[in-house]
Structure formats: C-alpha cells, structure tokens
Amino acid sequence: MEGKNDNFSGGRKYTNGEITVFWKPGACVHASYCYRELIEVFDPGRRPWVDMSGSTTERIIEVVNMCPTEALSWKWNDEEKNKNISFDQTNHIVFRRPELLESKETDEGVKPISVKVMPDGPIVIKGDFTFSFDGTTKNVKEGILSICRCRASDHMPFCDGVHRKIGYEDK
Amino acid sequence: MKGMETDNGKDKNPVIEIVEGGPINIKGRIVFKDLKRDITTDLDEVSLCLCGRSKNMPFCDDSHLSHFESIE
C-alpha cells in the first residue's frame, strides 16, 4: 500500500487554490506561533491539522512567515507571482525551501494535463496520463475522463449526467 | 542539498488515482481550473474531494477519514 498522495519527501502540502502551504514536520521546533496566532487554520489537535478554509490568504501568509524554521513555508500557485518575492516574505519557499522551486522547473518536458472542476458537476481531465482505480492501472493517450462528484452516477466513478437531475450542488 | 527530491512526475505522465472512499489524487503537471470558484492555477499535485464531506471544496481535506466505512 502506498501512503497518501499528499505526502512529499516526508512532508505535506495544503492549498486554498491561491497559495500552497508546505509542512515539513521534522523541522518544527514547536515555537507555536502558528496555532497561537491562527488556530482556525493551524490546529494541532485536529486532523488534518491545517485547514486552509479557516482564514484569508493574506492572514495565512502572515502567520506562516512567523514560523522560525522551514517547518511551514508557502508559495503562490500562480508561478508568475513567485518570481518577485520581497524579503519580508520570510517563509516563501524561495527563502526557506528553494529545492521545491527547482523540482518544479525540471518538469518542463512533460505535457501538462487539464483538470477542470465543472460547476455542480464532474471533474473533467484531459491529456496523457496514467489512471488507476479499483486495482487496475491504464496508460491513456489524449484521453478524457469525467469523474462523478455527486455520487449518484450509475457508472461510478464516471459521470453519467445524473447530477443535473438530482440538483447536485457542491459547497 | 540533494537526495530528498522526489522524482514523481519528472519524466512521467501525470498519474491519476481514485482512492476507494476517498479523493481523486493527481500528480504531475496540472493546469487546474475550478469554474464555480473561478480558480485557475498550475499545480504539480492536487487531491480533489469525491466523498462530498470536504469543507474546502473542491479540494480533499481528509474529512472522508472521519468515517471508517467507505462510500458506496
């Protein structure tokens, strides 16, 4: 059994769509700024302990920047915005974990896939990819997957259009 | 400081995996769009909720783990 896929090099990452916060447990010295400042997001007693919906992007950045080690670091998901980071953004990965930036750049040769979350509908994925579910793995070229989110499809895990009929709303 | 980088997705196609009772995990170069919330972003990894319990839609927040039985 593989571990969860949000593991990376013994750490985890969390996103709210705008920024990604990286968590590197081995680096934590328990200075406890994160949960004293923002328990809504960083709650060590909760699983998962980081809830990105608990505050605004600005406030999360502010508190991550207080972490005295590289245990918490962050980046913008829009790579353009990561190019000019000022020095007061102390825990941006450019300063704390530059290895995370480099590993991004080595991906240049591979074609990206498109992942679209449709409004109150399925997840539609297009491109070349390897797909596994229910114990089978397939390599797909120029494929399209439409994955059910309403959980009412007769062809799980694929969408069969029934989300419209049942009035599915994702929130 | 070499040695800890993961090779995931470097020379490989993106990998998509559906976890039974859990999310869909996607690793690789991803152009991500959420049309309802007007999010467009490049990601190298994303985990999207399929169980309906996430409080951070459309992303997985591990809420599926709070129930032990899998979702039919």
Compute mean pLDDT per 10 residues along chain A, 171 residues long, and list them: 44 94 90 94 94 97 93 93 90 89 56 92 92 90 91 92 91 82
- The type of residue at A75 is K
pLDDT given for residue A1 in this prediction: 32
Torsion of CA B45, B51, B56, B60, to 10 degrees: -20
Give CA–CA dist A168/A114, Å, rounded.
23
Determine the 3-state secondary structure of A163 from DSSP. Answer: helix
Residue with tokens 């029934």: A162
Q: Contact B13/A116, CB-based, under 8 Å?
A: no
CA distance A133 to chain B (A): 5
A123 to chain B, any CB pair closer than 8 A? The answer is: yes
Min distance B67 CA to chain A CA atoms (Å) = 13
- The H or E element that residue B43 is part of is strand B39-48
How would you write A80-134 as a 3-class SS string? HHHCCCCCCCCCEHHHHCHHHHHHHHCCCCCCCEEEEECCCCCEEEEEEEEEEEC
Cβ atoms of B47 and B64 closer than 8 Å: no
Q: What ipTM does this complex have?
A: 0.80
**A91-109 pLDDT, tens digit each:** 999 888 888 875 544 445 6
Residue-wise pLDDT for A137-162, tens only, equals 999 888 889 999 999 999 999 999 89
Interatomic CA distance for residues A168 and A164, integer angstroms = 6
Radius of gyration for the alpha carbons in chain B, expressed in angstroms and rounded: 14
Give yes or no for B70 touching A (CB within 8 A). no
Beta-bridged to residue A75, according to DSSP, are A20
Residues of B in Cβ contact (< 8 Å) with A119: 35-36
Rounded Cα distance, B14 and B29, in Å: 6
Nearest CA in chain B to A169: B52
Nearest alpha carbon to residue A6 among B68, B56, B59: B59
B/e letters for A142-169, b = 16+ CB within 10 Å, e = fewer, are eeebbbbbbbebeebbebeeebeeeebe
